[in-house]
Structure 1
Amino acid sequence: MEATTLPKSWNIDQTLDDLDQQGFAVIDHVYSYHYVYQLVKECISNLNCFREAAIQNGVVSNVRSDHILWIDENLHIAQHHINTLKQLSQLLNRHFYLGINDVEAHFACYNTGEFYALHRDNPQNKNGRIISTVYYLHEEWQESWGGELHLQDKKNVWHTIQPKPNRIAMFQSDLLHEVIQAKHQRLSITAWLRSDQNII
């Protein structure tokens, strides 16, 4: 694995405290402009490979309507983000003893009118997802464009997180959340820090 350290722009102490107290944290200005540019370029150049996330084993779900592309070793730019999340996993393991040992991730595209209804990524500990992360990689975003992450924290308080460019939101995978209907194309990388090894 490529040696990767957490970006200096991250306020790690605040992030750990927010995760501990609320079950979620938000970090802005995650990566350098140069890296974001390359990552957006990689995502957009592969949009024709995205598939409907709502179709699972040939069955159509009305819970979500976005499109996704799982990230593998062929998506070289995105691998840096994955490696960063692996470094984050080690930090979280040291502080919270979570037992995270793998990261799974995909690009996500919400076109106009697309959404993801209320759900939990790991309901009743049915899978190995421990921490969910969403990194926003569109180059600009306006509040009127929708696409917000609506999240209930561990104290049952609701929060609305704007999908600002170069922002990452991370939260416990058992928390209830949804993606509000987008009114403009919304690009992101969704990743899960897992306590087991996932096979896509």
Structure 2
Amino acid sequence: MEAAYLPKSWPVDQILDDLDQHGFTIIDDAYTPTYIHALVEECLSNLNQFRDAAIQNGVVSNIRSDHILWINENLEYAQQHIQALNALAQEFNRAFYSGIQDVEAHFACYNAGEYYALHRDNPQGKNGRVISAVYYLHENWQADWGGELRLQDKNDKWHIVQPKPNRIALFQSDLLHEVLKAKHQRLSITAWLRNDSTLW
């Protein structure tokens, strides 16, 4: 995959239409098997550096129990995913005048029994997160392993998104959502396309 370019397989027009109509969209078969394997290996090789996401500023929270590792310039393959999201953000800027300027992201690991309770990534426009993007980077997944994304779209309809390998779920950061309890280790990259002010 070329790091600086939008993957040609991504259906940009459909993505834009889905976001406009529903506030969320799904990209399946996002990347090549070679890239996925390299990215999974990069994630697994750094698992010992993940920290407990339930502890924020020294305070223990019961809303989530996953583990995360913020992505920096040393994580070569994860950076390629961020560059693809940056390219997609330019499409959002052209279509929605969103002014997205940056992407922040971390690896996330949900072990068996772990979850993230109902929340919004940008409640009432309190931060610069415009679009949230969850990329499921495990190479195999079974439907009974849990870890689904449960999401309320902009029309107040609820959806269950299966964490299928090589799938990206994108949604407005102000939408209510949760990660249901995983029954098997679930790996992903969570990213936020950021702007100084929210789009919707």
Give the TM-score normalised by structure 1: 0.96
Equivalent-residue separation in structure 2 for 1:70 and 1:60 (angstroms):
19
| Structure 2 residue runs without a partner (length 5+) | none
Is 1:143–2:146 an aligned residue pair? no
Is 1:97–2:97 an aligned residue pair? yes
Identify the residue that residue 182 of structure 1 maps to in structure 2.
182
Superposed CA offset, 1:78-125 (max 9, x none): 110010111011110000011100100000000000000000000000
Is 1:21–2:30 an aligned residue pair? no
Instruction: Give the C-alpha shift of residue 5 in structure 1.
Output: 1.4
Is 1:133–2:121 an aligned residue pair? no
Identify the residue that residue 36 of structure 1 maps to in structure 2.
36
Superposed CA offset, 1:155-191 (max 9, x none): 0000000000000000000000000000000000000
- SS of the residue aligned with 1:113? coil
| Structure 1 residue runs without a partner (length 5+) | none
CA RMSD of aligned residues (A): 1.2
Q: Is the 8 A contact 2:3 2:81 kept in 1?
A: no
Closer, same or farther: CA 3–136 of 1 in aligned 2, 3 Å:
closer
Instruction: Give the C-alpha shift of residue 7 in structure 1.
Output: 1.1
Is 1:117–2:117 an aligned residue pair? yes
Equivalent-residue separation in structure 2 for 1:172 and 1:23 (angstroms):
6
- What percent of counterpart residues are identical? 73
Equivalent-residue separation in structure 1 for 2:9 and 2:166 (angstroms):
12
- SS of the residue aligned with 1:91? helix
Instruction: Give the C-alpha shift of residue 11 in structure 1.
Output: 1.1
Instruction: Give the C-alpha shift of residue 3 in structure 1.
Output: 5.7
Equivalent-residue separation in structure 2 for 1:109 and 1:193 (angstroms):
20
Identify the residue that residue 84 of structure 1 maps to in structure 2.
84
Superposed CA offset, 1:37-64 (max 9, x none): 1000000000000000000011000000
Q: Is the 8 A contact 2:136 2:165 kept in 1?
A: yes
Structure 1 consecutive aligned stretches of length 4 or more whose deviation exceeds 3 Å: none
Aligned length: 196
- SS of the residue aligned with 1:140? coil
